Amino acid sequence: MNFHATFDAGGLVMKVEENVDLFPFNTFGIHARARYFATVTTREEVQKLLEHDLFRSHQRLFLGGGSNILFTDDFNGLVVKNAVTGISVVSEDDTSITLNVGSGENWHAFVMHCVSRDYGGIENLSLIPGTVGAAPMQNIGAYGVEVKEVIDYVNAIELATGRERRFSREECAFGYRESIFKLTERDQFFISSVTLTLTKKTHRINTGYGAIADVLRAKGITNPSISDVSSAVVAIRTSKLPDPAHIGNAGSFFKNPVVTQHHFDTLSKTYPTIPSFPVGEGKVKVPAGWLIEQCGWKGFTRGNIGVHKNQALVLVNYGGGEGRMIRALAEEIQSSVQEKFGIHLQPEVNIIGS
């Protein structure tokens, strides 16, 4: 059953649907139903929707690419699909370009847009699923680069008032897979666009993390361009991570935990091959995938769900799996890692439902 809501905004008409299956809107491929579902394409539509009783009187959830979410139940409220798009030039000179990008733009498509024009700074973030709006929310990062390094500011709409606000890079309070939008301002703002500055010359090529250098070396590339780096990252991610179009998943399910140097030193006596990355004075980051694999979970299956055979950090839905089953598996993995290593794994994926 569908119904239409018309908002008095220069002839703006917005369709709101009822009882919508969210299967096409989450990369885990979970069948969960939204009581109400609407799509917004402009910030004006967002502001008008905020004024409507449907929004004010129901629980609500904004969805981007659905690549960082796990539904464990139906959503008895309003789901709003973000389709706010557009890429515009704010300023440009001989060495850099500043772009304003709609939050509903596909992130990887935007990266390819920039790489094809030789705009540097985000090539290491190729093939990360999701939308541009999700990038600052969780400060996406990969292969030695975090998106906070190129963000100038984030434009957002306050849900309680409909007022627009600009958050500077400092005000975003970026951390490891964190920002103010996941902490003190969680569920308080709709990110409408992101403004970032990229290089046009003298790119800072980053090949020192992961297997990028190995891939480039195998191709005989000694002086890589940003396009070369992007292609290497795509090749690595494709070889290690399942395509959500074929196997339901949300990428890395857990964050890489950060432990004290003392804790790590204690662990390394028992596990001398434990990998690590320094992240500051007295702190060490340990790969969650390694911890999970050491607990024997890599390649584990239970019915229609499991842990990916090539990457223990990725929980998968082979088709027909339920969100509650995946959450239960995640909790078992957390318990085993806690028992074996004394480390608590924190989910990177947002779990929605009871």
- pLDDT tens string 12-40: 567 899 999 999 999 999 999 999 999 99
| Distance of alpha carbon 279 from alpha carbon 284, whole angstroms | 6
User: What region, left, alpha or beta, does residue 165 occupy, with left being phi > 0 and alpha being psi -120 to 50 degrees?
Assistant: beta
Catalytic positions are 177, 252, 348
Give me the architecture of the 248-352 domain, per CATH. Answer: Alpha-Beta Complex (3.90)
Nearest in space to 312 (alpha carbons), one of 331, 291, 332: 291
**CATH code at 87-240:** 3.30.465.10
The domain limits of the chain are: 2-82, 87-240, 248-352
Cβ neighbours, 10 Å, residue 353: 15
Task: Determine whether 233 is exposed, middle or buried from the number of CB atoms within 10 Å of its CB (0-12, 13-18, 19+).
Answer: buried
CB 115 within 8 A of CB 45: no
Tell me which residue of 66, 73, 75, 77 sits closest to 16, measured CA to CA.
Answer: 77
Query: How does pLDDT run across 124-138, given as a tens digit for each residue?
Result: 999 999 999 999 999
- Residue 10 is predicted with a pLDDT of 45
| Domain 248-352 in the same topology as domain 2-82 | no
Cβ 34 vs Cβ 77: under 8 Å: yes
How is domain 2-82 classified at the CATH fold level? 3.30.43
Phi-psi region of 145 (alpha: psi -120 to 50; beta: other; left: phi over 0): beta
Mean of the pLDDT values across residues 110-119?
A: 98
Is the overall model pTM greater than 0.95, yes or no?
no
Residue type at 299 in one-letter notation: G
Structure tokens at 177: 């897979």
**Residue 248: strand pairing partners:** 317
Antiparallel, parallel or unpaired: β 277-280 and 248-249: unpaired
Nearest to 132 by CA among 101, 160, 157, 178: 101
pLDDT in tens, 276-303: 988 888 999 999 999 999 999 999 999 9
